[in-house]
Amino acid sequence: MKQQQIQSLLDKYFAGESSLQEEAQLRQLLQTEPISEEHLTYSEWFQLLDEEAELSLGDDFDAKVMASIEAYSKPKPVIRTLSTSWILRIAAVFALVATGLWWLVRSNPVEQPVVAEAEVKVIDWSKYEPKTVEEAYKVTRNAFRKVATEFNEGTAIATQGIDKMGEMGKLIK
Amino acid sequence: MKIKHFFTLAIIALAAVNGLAQGATSTTASAIDKYFSSYVEDKRFDVVYISPKLFQMIGKIDSKILDMEDDAEAKAILDMAKDLQGLRILTTDETPEVFYKEAKAKINTKEYEVLLTVRDKDGDNVEFLIKETNNVIQELLLLSGGKEEFVLLSFMGNLDLNKITRLAKEIEKK
């Protein structure tokens, strides 16, 4: 009798015509009554549904989901790098500038604008040496006297200048 | 390739520019030699050269032969002469002011340092320039130009400013 009732309720359940009460009754019969082997599969099926229904989300589920959403939506830090081709372009520009400067300096020397551009010749200085040691000494002495005299004159002018500045300083005070 | 590689390349490039610039400067390093070579055979100039050998010989000869009327001055001169490796002299009385300006423009100011500049009431200009290496004076240049004469003296060798001052004092005593 119970087996027929179970079969009848199963037919209505799978036909989608069973009420909630009938479904509850079916579950109870499958769990409590001794059932045949053919109904054993259905008993296990309903048991599995009950177990899965008991599964619930953990308390930290919402937090985990929100954290993963935020991580996804945060913009990644942008790392700027120069590609090899750009480095080569910049290096080429520097090389061109360097070559240009070198060419400019070479072709327009700043510090020798006036004198005739004679190449440095190998000078045979022996042609210009005094013939005797006495003459060489006199030339050297005169050269040193010139240096010493101009040195004295320069320092005398500098001293006068300093003295004048001192006098002016006294007047200001 | 990162930014730091870019900066490394930039530094290398700048160093290359600097090196090239210095290389170009070195072509003007012997400006005085060039100046001498320009005028050494010019008939308007008197040229004298005292070689290291002559300086050695001056140091060895008898002071009586040299007619050293003033011992202190002669000693000071001989004391300076023994350190010299050469003396080059270039003088002219033709357009001296022009040659003075020309020589000044020719001198490489990176190579020579101005020691003293004198301009007297008559408009004569004198400039002392030195070339130093490791705080030792390797060359002393005297440039003098006025209405009457242009003089370029180039003393080569190890020069001691104290000795020059001593000689200047001896001459001042006269």
Question: What pLDDT is attached to residue B93?
Answer: 93
In a domain, A107, yes or no: no
Domain count, chain A: 2
In a domain, A84, yes or no: no
In a domain, B111, yes or no: yes
pLDDT (tens digit per residue) in B7-51: 665 566 556 555 555 544 444 335 778 888 888 889 999 999 999
- Are A7 and A68 found together in one domain? yes
Inspect the interface and report whether the beta carbons of A91 and B48 lie closer than 8 Å: no
In a domain, A134, yes or no: yes
In a domain, A80, yes or no: no
pLDDT (tens digit per residue) in A101-143: 988 887 765 544 444 445 566 788 888 999 888 888 889 888 8
- Are A129 and A68 found together in one domain? no
In a domain, A24, yes or no: yes
In a domain, A119, yes or no: no
- pLDDT-based confidence at residue B69 (cuts at 50, 70, 90): low
- Long-range pairs for B106-112: beta carbons < 8 A, 24 or more residues apart: B106/A111, B106/A112, B106/A114, B106/A115, B106/B31, B106/B32, B106/B34, B106/B35, B107/A111, B107/B31, B107/B32, B107/B141, B107/B143, B108/A111, B108/B25, B108/B28, B108/B29, B108/B31, B109/A111, B110/B25, B111/B29, B111/B31, B112/B139, B112/B141
pLDDT (tens digit per residue) in B113-157: 888 888 887 888 999 999 988 888 889 999 999 889 999 999 999
In a domain, A131, yes or no: yes
Quote the domain boundaries for residue B106. 29-173
Question: What pLDDT is attached to residue B49?
Answer: 94
Quote the domain boundaries for residue A161. 125-172
In a domain, B151, yes or no: yes
Question: What pLDDT is attached to residue B47?
Answer: 93
Domain count, chain B: 1
Q: Which residue has the higher pLDDT, B19 or B58?
A: B58
Question: Nearest chain A Cα to B60, which residue?
Answer: A133
In a domain, B128, yes or no: yes
Pick among B85, B172, B173 to test the A interface (most A CBs inside 10 A):
B172
In a domain, B4, yes or no: no
Inspect the interface and report whether the beta carbons of A91 and B9 lie closer than 8 Å: yes
Question: What pLDDT is attached to residue B2?
Answer: 57
Question: How many A-B residue pairs are in contact by the CB < 8 A criterion?
Answer: 191
Distance between CA A136 and CA B69 in Å, rounded?
17
Last residue of one domain, picked from the residues A11, A45, A72 = A72
Q: Which residue has the higher pLDDT, B20 or B3?
A: B3
Q: How does the average pLDDT of chain A come out, rounded?
A: 81
Q: What percent of chain A has pLDDT over 70?
A: 87
Last residue of one domain, picked from the residues A46, A72, A98 = A72
- Token duo for residue A74: 């945060």
Min Cα distance B147 → chain A (Å) is 16
* Residue tagged 């009431």 (tokens): B121
In a domain, A95, yes or no: no
